[in-house]
């Protein structure tokens, strides 16, 4: 009976701890790039009990484009690449540099 009681208490303690397992990661970067582009990159990642939610936002201000884009991480040969849901706009980080644009055209490159 003593071991059964201790086992039940142990399971309850572990269950209580598991319910509060939350990890957050936030990353914000602002760049002033060529062609009068200003780019703000924001990544918010929350992991709760093994389930994760990630929100990546890229905000662009330039003479030709003033928008905010929701993006998700996509496969890249190297570096880390994010794209809009339709795949039209891309933000790509590689070796301390990043570029923003489309598959056909780079709008800005920052080093």
Question: Are the beta carbons of 97 and 111 closer than 8 angstroms?
Answer: yes
Name the nearest CA neighbour of 35 among 68, 65, 71, 57.
Answer: 65
Q: pLDDT tens across 11-61, in order?
A: 544 555 555 688 888 888 888 887 788 999 998 888 888 787 888 899 999
Where exactly are the structural domains of the chain? 22-110
Residue 20 φ/ψ, nearest 5 degrees:
-115, 20
Q: Say whether 2 sits in a helix, a strand or coil.
A: helix
- Predicted model pTM: 0.70
Tokens of 27: 């990353």
CATH for 22-110, among 4.10.80.400, 3.40.50.2000, 2.40.128.200, 3.40.718.10?
Answer: 2.40.128.200
Spatial separation of the C-alpha atoms in residues 31 and 39, rounded to whole Å: 5
Q: pLDDT per residue over 80-109, tens digit each?
A: 999 999 999 999 998 888 899 998 998 888
């Amino acid at each position: 009976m003593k071991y059964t009681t201790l086992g039940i208490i142990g399971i309850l303690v572990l269950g209580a701890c598991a319910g509060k397992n939350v990890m957050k990661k936030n990353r914000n970067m602002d760049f002033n790039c060529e062609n009068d582009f200003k780019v703000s990159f924001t990544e918010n990642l929350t992991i709760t009990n093994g389930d994760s939610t990630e929100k990546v936002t890229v905000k662009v201000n330039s003479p030709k484009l003033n928008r905010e884009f929701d993006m998700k991480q996509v496969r890249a040969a190297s570096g880390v690449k994010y794209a809009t849901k339709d795949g039209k706009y891309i933000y790509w980080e590689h070796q301390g540099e990043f570029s923003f644009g489309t598959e056909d055209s780079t709008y800005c490159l920052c080093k």
